Amino acid sequence: MYIKTKLNTVKESQQVKLVFSEQLSKLQGKQHQDTELLEEIRSVFAVWRSVVDATAQSAASRLAAAEEYRRLIGQVSRSLRNAKDIRAKRGLEGLQRVQGELVDALRELQRFKKSYHQLSHITTVAREKSADAQTRSHCIREAV
């Protein structure tokens, strides 16, 4: 009986070892799967982080390019505005000069017009006197 009991104990012991070994094998398989899953998650996370970093870097470079374009456009805008102001100032100076010349020409025209009317009046008076003198001279000739 002792041998039987011992055999049973050995058998049970072997069964326990077998069950233990199966469970250990299952646990090792599960741990291996969990480890692979964890590695895949880390890999996906690394890819995602690189995508986010690349997007951030692209955004930063686009922002820098936009700032540079804004700066260049600001410089061009200022230079164009300055050139426009200079042209406007020169144009205004030219316009004022022409306006002054026009005012002088109008004054001179007014003076010539006044002189013309005076000469016209003198001419009309002279014609009338001449006509009167001729009429008198005809009357005197006829009377003589």
Q: What is the DSSP string of 95-115?
A: HHHHHHHHHHHHHHHHHHHHH
pTM: 0.46
Give yes or no for residue 2 having a pLDDT over 60.
Answer: no
DSSP of 11-69: HHHHHHHHHHHHHHHHHHHHHHHHHHHHHHHHHHHHHHHHHHHHHHHHHHHHHHHHHHH
68: left (phi over 0), alpha (psi -120 to 50) or beta: alpha
For residue 55, what are its two tokens?
């997007």
Q: Residue 39 carries which side chain, given as an amino acid letter? A: E
C-alpha 1, offset from chain centre: 103
Does pLDDT of 141 surpass 80? no
Longest dimension (CA), the chain: 204
pLDDT > 80? residue 9: no
CA angle at residue 100 from 117 to 118, to 5 degrees?
Answer: 10
Sign of CA dihedral 124, 127, 133, 135: negative
133 pLDDT exceeds 80?
yes
Question: What's the average model confidence in pLDDT over 128-141?
Answer: 87
| Tokens describing residue 88 | 């406007």
Residue 113 — pLDDT band, cuts 50, 70, 90?
very high
Range 54-58 average pLDDT: 98
* Statement: residue 10 has pLDDT above 80: no
